[in-house]
Amino acid sequence: MTANQIFDKLWIEYTKLNPSVQQVYNLFINEGEVVENDHIAFRTFDDERINIDVLSKLFIKAGYIEKGTYHFEAKKLFAKHFELPGNKNAPRVFISQLKTKEFSTYLQQTVTTALESVNQEVYNSDNLIFKGRVWEKPSIKTYNKLREESEYAAWLYVYGFMANHFTVSINSLKKYDSIQKVNELLKSSGFRMNDSGGEIKGSPKELLEQSSIKSEMIKIEFDEGIFEIPGCYYEFARRYPEANGELYSGFIAKSADKIFESTDFYNK
Ligand code: NI
């Protein structure tokens, strides 16, 4: 698969589950903008069957190379980002993994049980990143218990492998050329921003500013019945040039930490 084919397929699954993302996309299109992706992000656990090395395989085959590594201390995450050399418009790929060994025996066992209920062939498949949850139907009780330790783990337990978020490149917008203008447009159109740690994460000085809308509530079939929980979210990023004039291309763990909270549970 080419990079474009991968992103098109991911976009279909992502917008099918999260109709509000398509609404935001359409909002920009109706404003006459061309929407390009700054990056696309995935979540996973650090188990060797499904870790970053496994999820990045399809992108590596499409020509992507590793460009940076990151540690999110508070969230207990390790992440890598990948780029497609020779194509500045290709979205970056950001993949994080939860350091499960730093959590309770309960969390570790829940992850292991879920992973072991699935045939290894599923993890070997090139299509893993499109498959969503590959293990059995989740339990709301388990979801809520995981949330006490890690909202990230709880989200991943329910949704599995898919784009956790796409990110609009503000640098490629014309009329909405600042993160403030983008946020105002979203709020005036009725979308809720993730304001944990402020609406804007990062600063021009750090060469990267990011914001995001809160994940919309999605009806999910659990063992115990249907419950609404947050799905995926949509992110917005503006990059600034480095001393050499080239746009900064990395990520900043310190300022992006709170953006993971876009999928935290909330009351509607
Ligand atoms: Ni992101």
Q: Is the pLDDT of residue 55 over 90?
A: yes
Q: What is the distance, to the nearest Å, from the Cα of residue 2 to the centroid of all Cα atoms in its chain?
A: 21
Determine if residue 178 is left, alpha or beta; phi over 0 gives left, psi from -120 to 50 gives alpha, anything else beta.
beta
Predicted pLDDT at 48 = 97
Instruction: Assess if residue 17 is contained within a domain.
Output: yes
Report, as an integer, the average pLDDT of 219-225: 98
Distance from the alpha carbon of residue 223 to the mean position of ligand 1, in angstroms: 31
Number of separate domains in the chain: 1
Q: Is the pLDDT of residue 233 over 80?
A: yes
pLDDT digits (tens, 9 = 90+) for 10-26: 999 999 999 999 999 99
Q: Is the pLDDT of residue 58 over 80?
A: yes
Report, as an integer, the average pLDDT of 146-170: 98
37: nearest Cα among 202, 205, 178, 165: 165
Round the average pLDDT of the chain to a whole number and report it: 96
Residue 246, domain extent: 3-263
Instruction: Assess if residue 200 is contained within a domain.
Output: yes
Predicted pLDDT at 267 = 77
Report, as an integer, the average pLDDT of 120-131: 96
Residues around ion ligand 1, judged by CB within 5 A, are: 41, 235
Predicted pLDDT at 258 = 86
Q: What CATH number does residue 182 fall under?
A: 3.10.180.50
Share of the chain above pLDDT 90, in %: 92
Distance from the alpha carbon of residue 144 to the mean position of ligand 1, in angstroms: 24
Instruction: Assess if residue 268 is contained within a domain.
Output: no
Report, as an integer, the average pLDDT of 171-196: 97
The residue assigned the tokens 């709170």 is 258
Residue 136 in tokens: 């059995």
Question: Which backbone phi and psi does 139 adopt, to 5 degrees?
Answer: -110, 135
Distance from the alpha carbon of residue 179 to the mean position of ligand 1, in angstroms: 14
Instruction: Assess if residue 60 is contained within a domain.
Output: yes
Distance from the alpha carbon of residue 101 to the mean position of ligand 1, in angstroms: 24
pLDDT digits (tens, 9 = 90+) for 244-263: 999 999 999 887 788 888 88
Distance from the alpha carbon of residue 235 to the mean position of ligand 1, in angstroms: 6
Instruction: Assess if residue 121 is contained within a domain.
Output: yes
Q: Is the pLDDT of residue 178 over 80?
A: yes
